[in-house]
Amino acid sequence: MNNAGYTTAGRFLDHSADDWADLVAVNVRGAVTGSRLCARRMVDAGIRGQIINVASGAAYTPLTVSSPYCTTKAAVMMFSEAFRLELRPHGIGVTAICPGAINTGFYTAARHLGSDAAVNTQRRDLSAGAIARFGSGPDAVAKAIVRSVRANRAIQPVTTEAYLGYALWRLSPTVMKVIARLSGEGTLRYVENTSLVRTAMGWLKERTK
Residues belonging to the active site: 69
Give SS3 for 52: strand
C-alpha atoms less than 13 angstroms from C-alpha of 3 in its C-beta half-sphere: 7
Give the burial class of 167: count Cβ atoms within 10 A of its Cβ; 0-12 exposed, 13-18 middle, 19 or more buried: middle
| Cβ neighbours, 10 Å, residue 107 | 21
The alpha-helical segments, DSSP class H, found in 29-109 are: 29-45, 67-87
Question: CA 133 to CA 155: how far, in whole Å?
Answer: 26
- Closest listed residue to residue 56, CA positions, set 161, 132, 168: 161
Q: Strands across the sheet with 49-54, in order?
A: 49-54, 92-99, 155-158
Question: CA 26 to CA 11: how far, in whole Å?
Answer: 20
What letter would DSSP give residue 160?
H
Give the burial class of 81: count Cβ atoms within 10 A of its Cβ; 0-12 exposed, 13-18 middle, 19 or more buried: middle
